[in-house]
Amino acid sequence: MMLKIPDVLTPDQVRQCREALEQAEWADGRLTAGYVAESAKKNLQLPLDHPVGRQVGELILNQLSSNPLFISGALPQRVLPPRFNRYEGGGEYADHIDNAIFGVPGSSQRVRSDISATLFLSHPDEYEGGELVVQDSYGSHTVKLPAGHMVVYPGSSLHRVTPVTRGVRLAAFFWIQSLVREDHRRAMLLELDNAIQSVAKSHPGHGALPRLTGVYHNLIREWSDT
């Protein structure tokens, strides 16, 4: 399931994040790529322990913690602190699948990358190229969202970022371990949740609502690992 989450950051917050990030010192993205991904990756990345990255990352996680679509779509259990990349001058990231497990810097905790997230920080008209292309069994999906919007997709997907031939593409990216590991189950839960919300709006007090809500929670009980 690919899910676009609008307005994770307000335009003001985007501006604030970009000002901080533009003054930071960036490093070659290949330093953090695995052995196979190394040759595919041509971009810049903020060093993982960079204070600006930590500060902007906290703002993003704080916004997400009260975002209903993120919570019901991802059912987050653990979220890796956001990382930041920068593509320009033909920079790209060829087809790859992300690592399965990430250590949380400064702790012994690990995050299984059930879900990959990209939060766009540049406006689409500021750069040419730089599309995120994600493959699934229905074909390939091209994503380029307004600044402050985010896309999440299964961590198991083959994906790439096409060359940025003009301007600069700034983004935050990170991974989420979900309470519900299987993508198709998360998709059904989101669909059920949306349907319940819509009935609750159009027919408040309808007798089926508590039972449907009960099924939702019972499915989570059945499928989640905590």
Alpha helices in the chain (DSSP H): 11-22, 51-64, 68-74, 183-202, 209-223
Question: Is the sign of the CA dihedral 141, 157, 119, 42 positive or negative?
Answer: negative
Tell me the residue number closest to Ni ion, measured at CB. Answer: 98
**Nearest CA to 85 among 138, 148, 126, 130?**
130
Nearer to Ni ion, 36 or 108 (CB): 36
Residue 88 lies near Ni ion (rule: CB under 5 A):
no
Stretch that binds Ni ion, among 94-102, 121-129, 144-152, 191-199 (CB under 5 A): 94-102
3 state SS of 173: strand
In the complex, minimum distance from the CB of residue 135 to Ni ion, in angstroms, rounded to a whole number:
12
The residues, any chain, with a CB within 8 Å of residue 22's CB and separated by 6 or more, are: none
In the complex, minimum distance from the CB of residue 32 to Ni ion, in angstroms, rounded to a whole number:
11
In the complex, minimum distance from the CB of residue 96 to Ni ion, in angstroms, rounded to a whole number:
6
Beta strands in 29-149 (DSSP E): 41-42, 44-45, 76-79, 83-88, 92-96, 101-103, 110-112, 115-120, 128-129, 132-136, 139-143
Residue 98 lies near Ni ion (rule: CB under 5 A):
yes
In the complex, minimum distance from the CB of residue 85 to Ni ion, in angstroms, rounded to a whole number:
10
In the complex, minimum distance from the CB of residue 11 to Ni ion, in angstroms, rounded to a whole number:
27
Residue 7 lies near Ni ion (rule: CB under 5 A):
no
Q: How many residues bind Ni ion (CB under 5 A)?
A: 1
Q: Binding mask 10-49 vs Ni ion (x if CB under 5 A, - otherwise)?
A: ----------------------------------------
Angle at 33 between CA 46 and CA 58, to 5 degrees: 35
> What residues line the site for Ni ion (CB under 5 A)?
98
